[in-house]
Structure 1
């Protein structure tokens, strides 16, 4: 299994970036690779209509370390753990997302990486609209 790290520097404080990105209600506004429509909450689980089909998402508890890790249960039942960090950066915050090649051929993996990069670009735009 291959992994690829996608990162984006956002000119905003890590706290601002984390607060926005960690709010499940904001997912459809920036994370099109995960959520195409409003997120439905079922306890700690989020039910999401994604490009992969209906998936379940569980985020780690909110924390002061900028960790936004989340498990995505695919329609096949496979659970993919996505590691995401919001780190301090001299220009604001850096968001790092690890993409793993699980149940994807090489072309699908490349598309997944491109989708994550587009999501992080949208995240930056949404945050700049808010500040």
Structure 2
């Protein structure tokens, strides 16, 4: 789609991380995020999300990034919170019966909206003082 892009990271000819970024008016949506399990914990995910935020800010001029996360994924939500995302408490039901989202193993799933304000980096510029 014209207002969407797929970011990928390649190593030795293989895609090892990816995310989908979509312009949605006043914000961007971050989704389809994956990092190879063998490379998790080494900072690659942090770099991918930072690049997605930078591109959303610079390409589309948006001031917020939105994403949805399955509510029972507390460790994952905590990881996003450490990167500046905040829980909104706004949930949407899990699409049971739609196998594009996988085959759920439990019946209490829902998505929660997480939001982060995107600010331009200051690059160490200090305000002038008289």
Tell me whether the two structures share a fold, i.e. TM-score over 0.5: no
**Going by fraction, where is helix more abundant, 1 or 2?**
1
Q: What is the TM-score with the length of structure 2 in the denominator?
A: 0.31
Q: What is the TM-score with the length of structure 1 in the denominator?
A: 0.30
Structure having greater relative contact order (Cα 8 Å, sep ≥ 6)? 1
